[in-house]
Amino acid sequence: MRNRLLLALLFIPCLLSAQNGYYFFTESDISQIRSAAKTEWGKSIIESLKDTVEARREYPLTVPLLEGGHIHDYFCPEHKVRFSFDWNKPEAHYCSQCKHYWTGNKRYDWAWVNVAHTHNYSYLRNCMYLYLATEERVYAEYIRNMMLDYASKYLTYLEHDTARKVGPWGGKMFGQSLDESAWASDACRAYMVAKPIMTPEEIKEIEKGYLIPCSQLLLKRRGTANWQVWHNSGLIALGIALQDDSIINTALNDPECGYHAQMERYVYNDGWWGEGSPTYHYYPLHAIILSADAVRCRNINLYDEKLYKMLAAPAAGAYADLYFPAHNDGWYGESLIAQISLYEIAYQRYNNDPFFMNVLQQCYRYTSRTAAEALENCIEIPQTRSIPSWPSVHFENTGYAVLRSDARTVVIKYGPHGGGHGHPDKLSISVHNGDKEIVSDMETCAYGVPAFTQWYRKTLSHSTLSVDAKDQSESTGKLLSFKVRKDGGEVLAEAPEAYPGVRMNRKLVLKKDKLTDIYTALSDDEHLYDYVLILTEKPVFSQAGESINLNDSPAYSYIKDAVIRKQSFPISCKVGNASLVIHMPDKQDFEVITGEAPGIPPGNGSVLAKYDSPFCYPLIIRIKDKNFKIRTEWKF
């Protein structure tokens, strides 16, 4: 017993000093992990990690000989749902909706390899935390053995992109250098934790077979935005693993591609990442946190005010149930809950910040404390039952406003396009009743599915105005006014350049359980105006309608079972428990078109459970005139 205790006391300084000042976990980090592992919630995390590792070890651990493909190809083309991964079926891919295996498609097979590498990354990461927490040598041996296997295969992989060609953004393990760098970011952490048990020959083999060639690959990849942020994270991790400050310096300080250059170029002053989507905010933020944590060993502090804002801004804009309005590309169902591990780290790094404590408390209303990163934050989180009391907020640079009344939330989006991941949807809105969205921005499906470009990226699939059945142009709108009240607030925004010659603005007034939506468009020429609401429940009208085939543009063909009603007076309908009344000025004739279209894409199961149907229900108010004005009154 005495010898075991002595070994435990010696382990921490030995682990760190053996790395000659290059490490990923400080003495304090390791102490926190070990202390947390003795708590009831910490023991639960440890047992879960052990179960996950043992479950992985039930299947072959041999690293794939084949290069990986694109994860967006690992989806059923008919149902847009991700295939169910099976270790024993690398060439047969099961769709839970089709109830059968898809075979004979190489892209699916290559994507299977991508998923296999990702599972191996999780295995390495879980073993890393288990070794740090328990000191059981077997977990370090698991890491060593898999890293040696990768080192024996990595040089045999050809550089390739997602089309299996040599391209500027290709990888070796994966079809994208983006995935290559993400894998390296955590694999290097696991390697460094297990390194003290390795022989000099094993260390040399891993360095020559994987670490050096991977760093050489990523040093050649000079990109921008979230890709380069991940490249830099991977390079920093590789630089620490190789004890090479020149690699770390390049990743941090390259004037075009380095960490500081990317933060300056892509992080708005309001804290949001420039691609304008919760998913594409947290995706680079994960890499940024890994980078900031890694360079602590070189006495570099990246936990500054800008990074603080990146963590705080999205939390301030979440719905009451902690999900986010889905903007631009990404996966529907992004939530604070899914990002809880980042806030466990943030609370520690920002000196027990009270806002981050509130985020943790709110998240743990919905989930148990199971993230491995929680072990680094050895504190008890006080329970709370109250919903967030965060006020209405306007994000000036990102260009969207959030109105709140108790648990009800209304969001309008008018800002910059969002680069390559932007959608043509100026002045679009989302409406959340506290439990779920009733008016939705559905974000997008997997990029390999045809509906990605033909429906989800069209103006028609957003709750805004479509003119002449065309998409809006890439443009930036402007906020004209924003007022906050205790029971809601109001916002007025314009989009003068979304369509040539058409000046559009939208005013939203939220007061308690009532929302007034006034949309105006002015032009010197006649246009076909379609005011669209993307509803998550089928609207119920008292008036009957007639069937119609919509062929105004290819996007309209995605709306099935369309019905048209011709009106010259206000029309009302029910949408679930909500009701709305639509007014046009001066008894102007208009058409009401309803139908069924592809809805919220398969993805986050916990949020999809809130919705009864895989479809959405477009409600279109159509007129042909020079000018357009509509007032919609909601009670929800």
The domain limits of the chain are 19-28+267-388, 393-635
Quick one: 78 exposed, middle or buried, by C-beta within 10 A (0-12, 13-18, 19+)?
Answer: exposed
Place of tokens 């696991």: 190
Q: What predicted TM-score, i.e. pTM, was given to this entire model?
A: 0.89
Which structure tokens are listed for 406?
A: 């108790």
Q: Which long-range contacts (CB under 8 A, 24 or more apart) does 587-591 make?
A: 588/623, 588/625, 589/623, 590/566, 590/621, 590/622, 590/623, 591/564, 591/565, 591/566, 591/567, 591/620, 591/621, 591/622, 591/623
pLDDT for 8 equals 37
Q: How far apart are CA 319 and CA 331, in angstroms?
A: 16
Q: Are 248 and 297 in contact (CB under 8 A)?
A: no
pLDDT score for 12: 38
Q: What's the CATH fold of domain 393-635?
A: Beta-galactosidase; Chain A, domain 5 (2.70.98)
Average pLDDT for the chain: 93
Q: What is the mean pLDDT of residues 610-619?
A: 90
561: amino acid identity, one letter: D
pLDDT band at residue 11, thresholds of 50, 70 and 90?
A: very low
Count of alpha carbons within 13 Å of 561, Cβ hemisphere only?
A: 9
pLDDT one-digit tens code per residue, 340-383: 999 999 999 999 999 999 999 999 999 999 999 999 999 999 99
Angle 32-38-39 (CA atoms, 0-180°, nearest 5)? 95
Give whole-number Cα distances, 234 to 85, 215, 258, 266, 279, in Å.
26, 8, 12, 19, 20
- Provide the pLDDT for residue 182: 98
Least confident of 149-163, 398-412, 444-458, 482-496: 444-458
Instruction: State which H helix or E strand residue 47 sits in.
Output: helix 40-56
pLDDT score of 1? 37
